[in-house]
Each structure stands twice: as structure tokens, then as C-alpha cells.
Amino acid sequence: MLLNVSKRRRLRSSSPLRIFEHLEEEQMHVKGEASYHHLSLIVICNDLIEEGDLVIVYLDVRHLYPITIKRDEVFQSKYGALKHNDCIGKKFGSVVSCTKGWVYVLFPTPELWTVTLPHRTQILYAADISLIALQLDLKPGSIVCEAGTGSGSLSHALARAIAPNGILYTFDFHERRVKVVQDEFEAHGISSIVKVAHRDVGSEGFGLDQVADAVFLDLPNPWDVIPFAVKALKPSGSRICTFSPCIEQVQRSVEALDKNDFRDIVTVECLQRIYDVKRLTQTVINFDDLENDYSLEDRAKEDDLDDDEDPQPSTKKIDKNGSPSMQKNCETVTHWTAVPPLQTPGHTGYLTYASLVCQKIFDE
Ligand SMILES: C[S@@+](CC[C@H](N)C(=O)[O-])C[C@H]1O[C@@H](n2cnc3c(N)ncnc32)[C@H](O)[C@@H]1O
């Protein structure tokens, strides 16, 4: 994730949005006639854990906890007390002893933040997030608009995808959520890439004019926001994605996309399939030996028998399936394998993508 500040970069940027001006003023350094953002962000994580770092404490695959390292503090888990002091100076990914066992202390990637963050809303998870990043064609330098910010799960992943010189403008009309997520972006060292604003994009739009490479909408009524998205997006080649749990919402969004000159409209339902890792014992047949014992000629003879003709008693052993015994040709092996559980995979929502095509180009 874009946490701990390890690199400082100066990057040229435009200043497209009024409501973010106060943020930009703080960060802008005027050098000669050119304006620069003074960005602090991590590109490569620090190897060693320092005081103030966010760390993901990994007990097992279902028990992961985010903690901020503070001198003399203690984190309690089923493996006893973990002293923060014991983490300081250790490499991310190290094993650290507790009073009743040990834990891993992991670097907080966006994926780990998504599974450990405090929920204020429903959030997006890795399967959908990876499709969104791919389909929106995000890369370093992309300008992205997002609404609503919610718990910031997607925002962290978007920030990493567009770093170090992209900008994510993210909006939510819930004031308290905006405040909390803004503090998190600050604490995680990504506030220079992520600009969060308190705003109802359904009635006020984004306040951006033809600057965004991509717009992402995760709110109940994306169709109301789509006309505003057109204004925010670059006039050609830009992409939009809406996330909706219900197919009726998808229908209304697709109608609005079509009406607003979006093309290549595609809806995808991303289902996550979980595999259990189990130890399985299986029989392995040695086909080479089998062929010697039970030649194709023997098989042909059996096949040639008329249905009503009784086969001669065979000298070969017949196993319970009616085929010659494979006992001596078989061995059993036990190995680890991935087995899909019988449960139906859960539905999260539908992702609808589309491209904005400049109408002039489209008409030609
Ligand atoms: C499901 S959450 C988004 C979760 C987010 N994608 C994540 O991964 O954490 C939806 C958010 O949209 C916000 N919202 C709904 N309608 C809105 C609107 N018209 N303008 C701005 N925000 C809105 C809600 O306050 C809520 O926080």
C-alpha cells in the first residue's frame, strides 16, 4: 500500500477542481512559472518497521488485525501479548514472538487493508477491484473520479494503481465518513494522490471538466450521476464503471449510458469461488503395466462377444467394477489439493463498463 513515506517526488499537475483548491494550496510549491505538487508517497516500502507504521498482524488466514506501531504499547491476541517494541526494527513479513506463540507482521498492501479495515459501509473486495482496475485501464498517471468513497477499500487500490503521478478525486455525501477516510488517507501517506470531498454527486456532479480518464460509481443511483460523469471525463477514450447489486439498477444504468453516448457497454458478474485445501488420497494407475497384463487383444475378444453369448470364465481377476483387477498395477498417493466446497458462490454485484466516444469521431 502507499503507506509510510519513503520517497518524495515533485510532479507537475493541473488544478482542475475548485473544491480541492484548499488541499492543493497546502501542497503546491511555486517554482518559477511552473506549479508543482509536493507529493509524499511510498513507491517501494521501507524494509524495516518503524514507530508510527501501520502493520498487519497475521494470526491465520481468518484473523488479521491492523495496528499502528507505538512504543511501549501491547497488542493482545489468542497468542498472548505482542509488544509493539518487539516489532520495531524487524523486517516486514517477520515472525515476532508473543507471550503464548508467534505472529507475522505484514506490510499493509491494499489487499490486506481491504480485509482488515474498519467497515463504515459495504465495501468492494479484491475480485471486483482487480476487474475494475483492469477494465478502467488504470495506470500510473491516470486521473480517476470515484463516488461514493464509503470505507475507502477501493480508493486505496485505485491510489496504488495510479501512483505516483495520478490523482484520485473521491466523493461521498456522508460527512462523517469523509472525515474518517480523509484521516486514513493522511495516515497511510496517500493524501497527496487521493483528494476526498464531501459532496452529493447525484445533484451537484463532480465539479470537474474533461479531466478524468475514468469514473467509478458505487452508489445506489448511478444513472443520475452518469450525465455528470460525461462532463468530468475526457471527451474520448475515457472509461466508466458502475457497481450495482441488483439487475434492475444495471438496466437503468445501461439505459443512461446509452443515452449519454457511451459505447461498448458490457456487464460482468464477478463470482468468487473459494477452494478448501485438503489432503486427498488417490489411486494412481500404472497404464504401462496394465497394457501388458490386459492386452488390447484380450479387450477386443471381450468386445466381440455377442450380447447373449456367455463369456468364458476368465482367469483374470475381476474387480468390483467388472474390470480386471488393477490391484497390482495401482499404488495410492496422498497429496494436498484444492477442493471447491459445495456451497453456491455468493453474489456481490454487477460491474457495467463502457467507453465514452467523442460523438464527432463516432459519427465519422
Ligand atoms: C457502498 S459504499 C461505497 C464503498 C466503497 N466502494 C468501498 O469499497 O469502500 C456507498 C457510498 O456511497 C455514498 N453515496 C451514496 N449516494 C451518494 C451520492 N449521491 N453522492 C455521494 N456519495 C453517495 C454513501 O454515503 C456510501 O458511503
pLDDT, position 314: 45
- pLDDT at residue 346 in the model: 53
**d(Cα 123, Cα 141) in Å, to the nearest integer?**
25
Identify which of 172, 182, 217 to mutate to test ligand 1's pocket (most ligand atoms within 8 A of the CB): 172
Distances (CA, A) of 213 to 162, 171, 313: 11, 16, 77
Residue 231: predicted pLDDT: 97
Structure confidence at residue 283 (pLDDT): 85
Three-state DSSP class for residue 316: coil
Smallest Cα–Cα separation from 147: which of 188, 208, 236? Answer: 208
> Whose alpha carbon is nearest atom 25 of ligand 1?
174
Predicted confidence (pLDDT) per residue in 115-124, tens digit: 999 999 999 9
Q: Name the residue of 145, 198, 219, 253 whose CB sits within 8 Å of the most ligand 1 atoms, as the mutation to test its pocket.
A: 219
Closest by CA to 182, choosing from 193, 191, 174, 173, is 191
The proportion of the chain whose per-residue pLDDT surpasses 90, expressed as a percent, equals: 60
The predicted model gives 99-119 an average pLDDT of 95
Q: Which of 45-54, 184-193, 224-233, 344-353 has the highest mean pLDDT?
A: 224-233
pLDDT tens digits for range 54-98:
999 999 988 999 999 999 999 999 999 999 999 999 999 999 999
Is pLDDT at 36 greater than 90 in this prediction? Answer: no
pLDDT of residue 359: 61
Note whether 238 and 355 are within 8 A (CB): yes
What CA–CA distances, in Å, run from 110 to 116, 157, 189, 213? Answer: 10, 5, 13, 22
What is the distance in A from the centroid of ligand 1 to the CA of 177? 9
Kind and range of the H or E run holding 331 = strand 330-339
Could you read off the pLDDT of 152-176 as tens digits, one per residue? 999 999 999 999 999 999 999 999 9
Indicate which residue's Cα is closest to atom 27 of ligand 1: 150
Q: Position of cell 488517507?
A: 185
pLDDT band at 29 (very low <50, low <70, confident <90, very high): very low
User: How many helices (DSSP H) and strands (DSSP E) are in the chain?
Assistant: 12, 18
